[in-house]
Amino acid sequence: MSRIPGLGEDPEFAKLWVGGFVSSLGFHVSILAMQLTAAAVLGATPFEMGLLGAAQFLPRLAFGLVAGAWVDRVHRRPLMVATDLGRAALLASVPLAFVAGRLSVPQLAVVSFGVGTLSLVFSVASNAYLPGLVGRERLVDANSRMSAAEAVAQIGGPNLAGLAVQVLTAPIAIALDAASYVVSALCIGWIRRREPDPPPPDRRRPILGEIREGLAVITSSPILRTLIIAGANIGLFTGGFRGALIVLYLVELGVSPVAFGVIYGVGGAAALVGAVLARRTARRLGIGPVLVGSQLLAASLALVVPLAGFVPPDARLAFLIAGQIGLGLVAPTWAVVGGSLQQAVTPDRLLGRVNATQHVVLGGMNPLGAIVGGAIASIAGVQVTLVLAAMGAALSAAILASSPVRGLRALPHIEPAGAPGVPASPIVR
């Protein structure tokens, strides 16, 4: 593995990195493989396909806050292992039912919902586990590497799924996906570094009380509150941007499916580079300036895309690729730098709840943005929608610039938390 200062020679982090990468790769493979199984093998209707897609992402809204409180009650590493094994068992049921001639769309929906729920718990637990594993002073380095792995999984997952489905058929390809989660469980189970103990049972509140405590800490912390609000804004306008973008490419500009795949593939590769650059730019320019500047830059680059409709047809592909490269380079900054900042200022016992709140916010704002974007596009046109989405995205920069985040040069550290319900105080180094 390539060396990252402070982490490249840490075997315990390497185990988490490999396990997380394999788990993420499996998730992206399973999304496409399940859809192909429903469409090509079972002849699912468009309505059934829509239900299947919703089943994969509904758990984030339904269980996000509960998952966060639960993660804060237990040791996180065993929970991650359990979710990996649970996903493996659920996915293994698909090829078994196919061989037995009993596979159905309702079963795929149940499996998708279960995998989505366990993936949510895994993601929240992984984000909460990372600070205790590597130390808060190395979070940007660690998140940079984890984000790079996620970018590779997003690029390789659909391609791997397509190849596996073509060679093995869709249901059998899902069996390989189930095996990937077993590999992830073995890697994470192999970690030997002790993690902080969760609060003892006699200090726990009812689950709703713990959820309220997590929300209270967010609203009382200027940094956490800003990150959640900015994240909600990003989710809202990103959701509106994506749907309109596909219509612009395939319908209004006549981009071929092959060229469409090339554009997105290049954007994914740029995101991989962006994950690495985020660490270096944050170290050189400072946490706050990078977060504010990256959102301004992202909004500016997003404005480039609708302008492709005004250039000659033979220049459109290059124009769109250039815009996608720019967005890909900037996009990981929020996950790497913003995610590290959120982890750094959150007491360990609250990491699950704070991370889960960010999941719920993004999960709720993305579909809302898609609905609003679709309504605006039907009235004002796709290009106007994309311009408005880009301008709205710039609000995140304004939100960050008007908060204490703007002046941060390095990650803050926190004093140890006191009694439950008393948040630790973020202190800037």
Measure the CA–CA gap between 175 and 171, rounded to whole angstroms. Answer: 7
Q: Please tell me the predicted confidence (pLDDT) of residue 340.
A: 92
Q: Are 390 and 302 in contact (CB under 8 A)?
A: yes
Domains 1-188 and 207-411 share a fold: yes
Question: What dotted CATH number matches 1-188?
Answer: 1.20.1250.20
CA distance 102 to 106: 11
End-to-end CA distance of the chain: give it in Å, rounded: 31
Query: How far from 137 is each of 82, 140, 210, 362, 429, CA to CA, in Å?
Result: 29, 8, 27, 26, 11
DSSP states of 188-240 as a string?
Answer: HHT--SPPPPPPPGGGPPPHHHHHHHHHHHHHH-HHHHHHHHHHHHHHHHHHH
Dihedral sign, Cα of residue 276, residue 281, residue 287, residue 290: negative
- pLDDT at position 151, please? 83
Q: Which two tokens stand for residue 236?
A: 């809202």
Bridge-partner residues for 413, per DSSP?
427
Q: Where are the domains of the chain?
A: 1-188, 207-411
Q: Give the model's pLDDT for residue 400.
A: 94
Residues contacting 155, CB < 8 A, separation 6+: 265, 268, 269, 272
3-state secondary structure 268-318: HHHHHHHHHHHHHHHHHHCHHHHHHHHHHHHHHHHHHCHHHHHCCHHHHHH
Tens place of pLDDT per residue across the chain (429 aa): 344 444 557 889 999 999 989 888 888 787 778 878 888 888 888 778 777 877 877 888 888 899 999 999 999 999 999 999 999 999 999 999 999 999 998 999 999 899 989 999 999 999 999 999 998 888 998 998 998 888 888 777 777 777 777 777 778 888 888 999 999 999 999 999 988 888 888 777 888 899 999 999 999 999 999 999 998 888 888 776 766 666 776 667 777 766 766 777 777 788 888 888 888 899 899 999 999 999 888 888 888 777 777 777 777 777 778 777 877 888 888 889 999 999 999 988 899 999 999 888 877 787 777 777 777 877 888 788 888 888 888 899 999 999 999 999 988 866 444 334 434 434 333
Length of the chain (residues): 429
For 201, residues 6+ apart whose C-beta sits below 8 A from its C-beta are none
- What is the spatial distance between Cα 288 and Cα 8, in angstroms, rounded to a whole number? 26
Q: What is the pLDDT of residue 258?
A: 64
- Looking at residue 428, its pLDDT comes to 35
- Cα separation of 287 and 343, whole Å? 13
- What does the pLDDT read at residue 8? 55
Looking at the DSSP assignment, which residues form a beta bridge with residue 426?
A: 414
Residue 317's alpha-carbon distances to 92, 146, 300, in angstroms, are: 41, 31, 19
pLDDT of residue 424: 42
pLDDT at 367: 74
- DSSP-derived 3-state class of residue 426: strand
- At 426 the pLDDT is 40
Q: Looking at the whole model, is its pTM more than 0.75?
A: yes
Q: 293 φ, ψ to 5°?
A: -65, -40
Residue 312's region, left for phi above 0, alpha for psi from -120 to 50, else beta, is beta
**What gap in Å lies between CA 296 and CA 333, rounded to an integer?**
12
Is-contact 366 378, C-beta < 8 A? no
Q: What is the token pair recorded at 65?
A: 């806050």
- How far is it, in rounded angstroms, from Cα 29 to Cα 63? 23
Helix (H) or strand (E) holding 427: strand 426-427
Architecture category of domain 207-411 in CATH? Up-down Bundle (1.20)
Contact call for residues 173 and 33 (beta carbons, < 8 A): yes
Q: In this structure, are residues 173 and 161 in contact, taking their beta carbons and an 8 Å threshold?
A: yes
